[in-house]
Chains A and B, each alone.
Chain A
């Protein structure tokens, strides 16, 4: 753990430069530039509102502002997770010229991909904040949970990014698997819907740690009550030991990266 931190501190310049490179590259030669960072979450919000509208029609319940706020809030971390995983899965293979030619801790590559997506999410979050204010959902003390929830989401994403980028280096199948999972993952994650809408089956979607975290965010920001602590603990168990384990796997596999990439 300490070794990990040391390495990150030593190579922080490189990490920042690579993050900055990924951000720049994403919007090179594009007319809209950083507006694309807002586009993806907005699309998800739009789709979510449509789904909720259809649901309200069929169940003859009025669609509330709370629903709209909840969908908007949850779509942002989801968009971040999708883009971070998509970019980082390919980060080692896509930078094979670096991997085979220059030595540096390879953890930097998937981590930089995640951080570049985080930058996008930060831009988009300004829009979401505006939506939340517009929806007049108010604020409560529970919003202080938000930094913890965001940090856990970030840690979980980095853990998945390290594992998947490394797995993709050995087996290119991983890329296709990840693409499929990310496309359909939105149905297995409570983004468009709330876990409680599933009634007694709710724990099923909460088993997905990302689902737990999204629900908790919706709880503390939109519904103004404390998150479910057991489930939060469950998500933390995925994130923190998950990071340690996938880092360990990554370090072990690192030696053979240059040969097998």
Chain B
């Protein structure tokens, strides 16, 4: 442990926009140009852009490392550089140990070959010997759930079967370092779950995994550390919870309100009143908010939602009447400050709070504020799930009801 498995040292990679000269006719002007102007690999030329700019990170042995970011942020480029498919323009990349890259499920499958033939072929491409594949063959087929179709050409497979077989081969390679690019998006829910279990098993065996995904829930479940790329640069790098909540808050910050009534100054604080984003299961928290009403809101309901930010699953959704004994404000107008006390009976994950004000008589929303507060819960007691029911185990012996003989 603690040993470095992969290292990116100030890596720059550029790509070209538009078409590259593809035929001899285009080559001659291109050659003259490059002869006249000294071609510098490290500088940008016309129509070129940096896909990665000065990216440095290290992945330790046995670590599960996630890479997230919007489309075009440089995630796949990073993976292709790690797997030596691409070469950097500047900087160095070092990898230690046998490396297996799964850039695309079923890459290297040939449509005319049968499932069996493709398993052997793909195994060889991914670095396995024939004997190794033969030994694991039954396991691979069983995992993919292909059954009798194994001797059918893969061009007759459904896309799900194709993807399942592809993942299955790659998941049985046993490398020291596994690079995976967005493969959990294949197959049905059940198979996705199976893939995730398999990936966890691989991580548990101490294999270093670099995992690129848009499935933040999967990243949350698998990874210890996460790299967040934005426009080819590192936006943030750190523990999964920190990076994910930063990523999620950035993603939601841009949504502007189109309602007259405003919900503002939403702050999540701990029991002592200090603003906080990280909680432990069972912690007490307070959500403070200010409403700027455009009309009287006494008749309204305050919608209070908590979502799991990584996949949008609702954790709870309350509609609380805004009816209080006294007036909301001393003069009955102006901004209203509220506080909601809550218990964080949640398990590990990244969560978001959404609020809205609903006028039930006219059945309309006076205001909506989506994902106005983000927080994450850290713990090591659970495997997955959302709800902290705090199970406690007791020994009850002798067994009640069992007769003493």
Residues in B with CB closer than 8 Å to A134 are none
- The answer to whether A260 touches B20 (Cβ under 8 A) is yes
- Complex Cα spacing A54 to B103, Å: 59
A104 at the interface (CB under 8 A from B): yes
- The answer to whether A102 touches B112 (Cβ under 8 A) is no
A23-31, A32-40, A56-64, A196-204 - interface stretch: A23-31
Closest residue of chain A to B14 (Cβ to Cβ) is A259
Residues in B with CB closer than 8 Å to A21 are 110, 113, 117, 121
Q: Can you list 21 A-B pairs with a CB-CB distance of less than 8 A?
A: A13-B124, A14-B127, A17-B120, A24-B113, A24-B117, A28-B112, A28-B113, A97-B104, A98-B107, A98-B125, A100-B85, A101-B107, A102-B101, A102-B126, A103-B83, A103-B85, A103-B101, A171-B22, A172-B23, A173-B23, A256-B87
Closest residue of chain B to A255 (Cβ to Cβ) is B87
- Complex Cα spacing A28 to B154, Å: 13
Bits for A67-111, please: 1 = Cβ < 8 Å to B, else 0: 000000000000000000000000000000110111110000000
- Complex Cα spacing A102 to B80, Å: 8
What is the CB-to-nearest-CB distance from A174 to chain B, in angstroms, rounded to a whole number?
Answer: 9
A131 at the interface (CB under 8 A from B): no
What is the CB-to-nearest-CB distance from B239 to chain A, in angstroms, rounded to a whole number?
Answer: 30
- Complex Cα spacing A97 to B110, Å: 10
- The answer to whether B125 touches A97 (Cβ under 8 A) is no
Q: For residues 116 through 137 of chain B, which have their beta carbon under 8 Å from a beta carbon of chain A?
A: 117, 120-121, 124-130
Interface size counted on chain A using CB atoms at 8 A: 25
- Complex Cα spacing A112 to B145, Å: 32
B395 at the interface (CB under 8 A from A): no
A258 at the interface (CB under 8 A from B): yes
Residues in A with CB closer than 8 Å to B117 are 21, 24
Q: For residues 1 through 52 of chain A, which have their beta carbon under 8 Å from a beta carbon of chain B?
A: 13-14, 16-18, 21, 24-25, 28-29
Q: With A14-B125, A102-B107 as known contacts, state yes or no: A172 contacts B85, CB within 8 Å.
A: no
Q: With A258-B85, A260-B20 as known contacts, state yes or no: A14 contacts B124, CB within 8 Å.
A: yes
Closest residue of chain B to A100 (Cβ to Cβ) is B85
Residues in B with CB closer than 8 Å to A18 are 121, 124
What is the CB-to-nearest-CB distance from A27 to chain B, in angstroms, rounded to a whole number?
Answer: 10
Residues in B with CB closer than 8 Å to A171 are 22-24, 27
Q: With A13-B129, A172-B23 as known contacts, state yes or no: A103 contacts B104, CB within 8 Å.
A: no
- Complex Cα spacing A29 to B155, Å: 13
- The answer to whether A25 touches B23 (Cβ under 8 A) is no
Closest residue of chain B to A15 (Cβ to Cβ) is B124
- Complex Cα spacing A18 to B153, Å: 17
Residues in A with CB closer than 8 Å to B127 are 14, 104
Interface size counted on chain B using CB atoms at 8 A: 31
For A29, give its contact among B83, B112, B130 (CB under 8 Å). B112
Name which of A13, A28, A255 has the most chain B CB atoms within 10 A of its CB.
Answer: A13
- The answer to whether A98 touches B108 (Cβ under 8 A) is yes
Q: For residues 230 through 271 of chain B, which have their beta carbon under 8 Å from a beta carbon of chain A?
A: none
Closest residue of chain A to B24 (Cβ to Cβ) is A173
Closest residue of chain A to B124 (Cβ to Cβ) is A17
Residues in B with CB closer than 8 Å to A28 are 112-113, 153
- Complex Cα spacing A29 to B129, Å: 28
- The answer to whether B85 touches A17 (Cβ under 8 A) is no
What is the CB-to-nearest-CB distance from A57 to chain B, in angstroms, rounded to a whole number?
Answer: 44
Q: For residues 18 through 51 of chain B, which have their beta carbon under 8 Å from a beta carbon of chain A?
A: 20, 22-24, 27
What is the CB-to-nearest-CB distance from A87 to chain B, in angstroms, rounded to a whole number?
Answer: 14
- Complex Cα spacing A119 to B104, Å: 32
B86 at the interface (CB under 8 A from A): yes
Residues in B with CB closer than 8 Å to A97 are 104, 107-108
Q: With A101-B104, A103-B85 as known contacts, state yes or no: A25 contacts B112, CB within 8 Å.
A: yes
What is the CB-to-nearest-CB distance from A91 to chain B, in angstroms, rounded to a whole number?
Answer: 13
Residues in B with CB closer than 8 Å to A98 are 107-108, 125
Residues in B with CB closer than 8 Å to A100 are 85
Bits for B200-223, please: 1 = Cβ < 8 Å to A, else 0: 000000000000000000000000
Residues in A with CB closer than 8 Å to B153 are 28
- Complex Cα spacing A97 to B85, Å: 12
Closest residue of chain A to B22 (Cβ to Cβ) is A172
What is the CB-to-nearest-CB distance from A98 to chain B, in angstroms, rounded to a whole number?
Answer: 5
Residues in B with CB closer than 8 Å to A101 are 85, 103-104, 107-108
